[in-house]
Structure 1
């Protein structure tokens, strides 16, 4: 016997209700798929496009880092177009994300070309410096003696000063793992950091939530908990950006709420992706140029 009109209607309403409930669960984060769904619906925003311009001059080098337990560390300095490589420019350190290295800021994000496209209009051109901080150190001292923060302070910055760059007040930009590292560095040395941009920072409120390998254990997590005391960041010229569909968005919102005054930046359509980071790069570099 074929189904009645009433039974078909009831089934349709049930399916619609189930579908609505499923969307609600995804939206609330109770089941996975929110970011995938929002990306498919175009709700995470457009991907940024690296400008098709020639970058300025670059210098690269390596050194054996005592602070990083004898690791061979590579670095690159990107200058604005037309700048000599001995120019006394202020420094912005770019701290890469997990799995990255000193080339990530340029080869992956294209920050040298974003800088080349806009530096002529900046009040304070700067040299953008990227260095190997370790693929998964999370930019803090680890139990094996690898200390990328100390490397920045005692090994990299003196080398940059020897090349004529200004290192008395520096800028920072970091994304994901590097965003966390930038917060750690700025909180430890607020006297040294003139301005900082933190992008999609890898933040967790509890050790039980931490991605494996980010910390050596609960004690290490507690010793590097940027939520524990946010007062050193008070008054810092700080910009924090995070995509609304980023897995770190909730923790980042909580962190931003604890800052005085509230930082620049905000929460835009986006996820934890290179496309989002590229889209945000022009305004973030401009922020540094106007606040160094």
Structure 2
């Protein structure tokens, strides 16, 4: 592969409001910052501290700061539920962001609005949980293991808000790699949807990203080398025809024969991801229910 696209935005800047202000914040506020696709990343409501006990969600968008022992750091947990629908008891779709982005990125990509429209059109409601990650969502050592965070810590974080366990996953770019990696360990998922998945056709291609420690580590995690672990009936694959990862996307489609998704005009950027977000959520929602 000859090009190395930047996958999304840089770090957020969070204002220091009171905890009461955070809980009453409501929907996300967009603040300007640099972005690889030319748009501005979302900052959203400042993060609140983790609640001491059960805390039913009272807002369609909640941003909470939680401590991840698996990652050795604090991370943002973003929970999105449909407006006007009781959140307690909703099933959850996990959402994994791209490289250089954050959990809040999904707010800018129109996910809350797309979810609201989908439910208003008659789809059964569900929640979306996004959390900060890195390192192609795999364990690269050094006390930072995003997959362990997803498997061992995320269930507790969403349960204390009255949500059901994760039953689907979607991912964008690096998050597509991570969602497919997550699916290999969670065969009970009803749906796995990947958008512009940052997959690698060879070790030199993967090595150029300066992420994986060695070829063995990449081979252990690369979804294209473990397609037998992926169920086509629950998988959706979307990719822009002008995306540098489109060749890898076509190979994934050929290998797993996904039930949904398509190659359509578009590049590796926010504009394309906003455009396909309604279709991606529809695919997920139909299989979760």
Per the shorter chain, which TM-score range? Answer: 0.7 to 0.9
Deviations 1:216-239 (A, max 9, x none): 221211111212221221244111
Task: Tell me if structure 1 keeps the 8 A contact 2:200–2:224.
Answer: no
Larger fraction in helix = 1
CA contact (8 A) 2:199 2:224 kept: no
Distance 1:274 1:63 in 2: 27
Structure 1 counterpart of 2:160: 162
Alignment match, 2:17: none
Deviation at 1:263, TM superposition (A): 3.2
Matched, 1:119 2:119: yes
Measured on the aligned residues, the alpha-carbon RMSD in Å equals: 2.1
Runs of 4+ deviating beyond 3 Å: none
- Asked if 1:147 corresponds to 2:145, the answer is yes
| Superimposed CA distance per residue, residues 218-264 of structure 1 (whole angstroms, 9 cap, x where no aligned partner) | 121111121222122124411100011100001111121111x4331
Alignment match of 2:212 (pick from 215, 226, 241): 215
The 3-state SS of whatever aligns with 1:178 is helix
How far apart are residue 205 of structure 1 and its match?
1.3
In structure 1, the partner of 2:99 is 98
Structure 1 match to 2:78? 76
Unaligned runs of 5+ in 1: 1-28, 33-55
Deviation string 1:55-87 (CA, Å, 9 cap, x unpaired) is x6222212221111x2111101111011234x2
TM-score, structure 1 length as denominator? 0.75
- Whether the 8 Å contact between 1:187 and 1:230 is mirrored in structure 2 is no
Give, in angstroms, the shift of residue 189 of structure 1. 1.2
Distance 2:62 2:273 in 1: 24
SS of 2:113's equivalent in the other structure is helix
* More relative contact order, 1 or 2 (CA 8 Å, 6+ apart): 1
Measured in 2, the distance between the counterparts of 1:227 and 1:90 equals: 28
Instruction: Tell me which residue corresponds to 1:205.
Output: 201
Distance 1:67 1:277, change over 3 A: same
User: What is residue 11 of structure 2 aligned with on the other side?
Assistant: none
User: For the pair shown, which has the larger CA radius of gyration, 1 or 2?
Assistant: 1
Tell me, what secondary structure is at the counterpart of 2:248? helix
Instruction: Kindly indicate whether residue 162 of structure 2 is the aligned counterpart of residue 195 of structure 1.
Output: no
TM-score, scaled to structure 2: 0.76
Give secondary structure in 2 for the equivalent of 1:164: coil
Does the 8 Å contact 1:173/1:198 carry over to 2? yes
